[in-house]
């Protein structure tokens, strides 16, 4: 089953959005397979966002991610990478649809509350980086009520 890496960024933690964000993924029917609150080092944040290292906002982005604890999660389910991105909404909250997390809870692109992997391959890389011991091995008992 497909997995994605979701991270509530420091602004989401500070603003008390942890419960609301977890609720949206949980109520959708996805399964939580890893969860931790962690403050990351600069070098770790740089590694996570390595693909963006040439961008002008890279430094500010790294500062933002190390500015407080984040909540790192693995969520599992059919098409969870793409559907997770839909739940999160567009990168720029100004363009994010109402009903998405960024559309409902954010204003500025540099304070957009949440990260979600953009492809299955990047999800695998990010999960390996953030959860070196891998996901928690458990099966939800509601599985047959969510999947036909
Ligand atoms: P994503 O988070 O929607 O996948 P990416 O393009 O991968 O968007 O960018 C990663 C993060 O970098 C964004 O979520 C946002 O926090 C930040 N970011 C992206 N573009 C800008 C920008 O133009 N200014 C400031 N921060 C940006
Ligand atoms: Mg991205």
Query: Among all residues, which ones are annotated catalytic?
Result: 115
Which stretches of 28-110 are assigned E, i.e. beta strand?
A: 31-38, 70-76
CA of 144 to the centre of ligand 1 (A): 37
CA of 57 to the centre of ligand 1 (A): 8
b/e map 63-100, b = 16+ CB within 10 Å: ebbbeebbbbbbbbbeebbbbbbebbbbeebeebeeeb
- Whole-number pLDDT of residue 82: 98
- Whole-number pLDDT of residue 78: 98
Instruction: Give 22's DSSP letter.
Output: H
By alpha-carbon position, which residue is closest to atom 13 of ligand 1?
A: 91
- Whole-number pLDDT of residue 34: 98
By alpha-carbon position, which residue is closest to atom 26 of ligand 1?
A: 110
Ligand 1 atom with least separation from CA of 112:
16
Q: What is the mean pLDDT of each run of 10 residues along the chain (148 residues)?
A: 98 98 98 98 98 98 98 99 98 98 98 98 98 97 97
Pocket of ligand 1 (CB under 6 A): 52, 57, 61, 91, 109-110, 112, 115, 118
CA of 49 to the centre of ligand 2 (A): 8
Tokens of 144: 């047959």
What's the whole-model pTM score? 0.98
- Whole-number pLDDT of residue 81: 99
Ion ligand 2 residues within 5 Å by Cβ:
118
- Whole-number pLDDT of residue 43: 98
């Amino acid at each position: 089953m497909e997995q994605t890496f979701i991270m509530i960024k420091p602004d989401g933690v500070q603003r008390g959005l942890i419960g609301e964000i977890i609720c949206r993924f949980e109520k959708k029917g996805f399964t939580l397979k890893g969860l931790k609150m962690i403050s990351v080092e600069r070098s770790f944040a740089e590694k996570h966002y390595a693909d963006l290292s040439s961008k002008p906002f890279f430094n500010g982005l790294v500062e933002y991610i190390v500015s407080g604890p984040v909540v790192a999660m693995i969520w599992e389910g059919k098409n969870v990478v793409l559907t997770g991105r839909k739940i999160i909404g567009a990168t720029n909250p100004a363009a994010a649809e109402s009903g998405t997390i960024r559309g409902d809870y954010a204003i500025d692109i540099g304070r957009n509350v949440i990260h979600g992997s953009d492809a299955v391959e990047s999800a695998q890389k990010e999960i390996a980086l953030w959860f070196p011991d891998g996901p928690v091995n458990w099966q939800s008992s509601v599985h047959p009520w969510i999947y036909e």
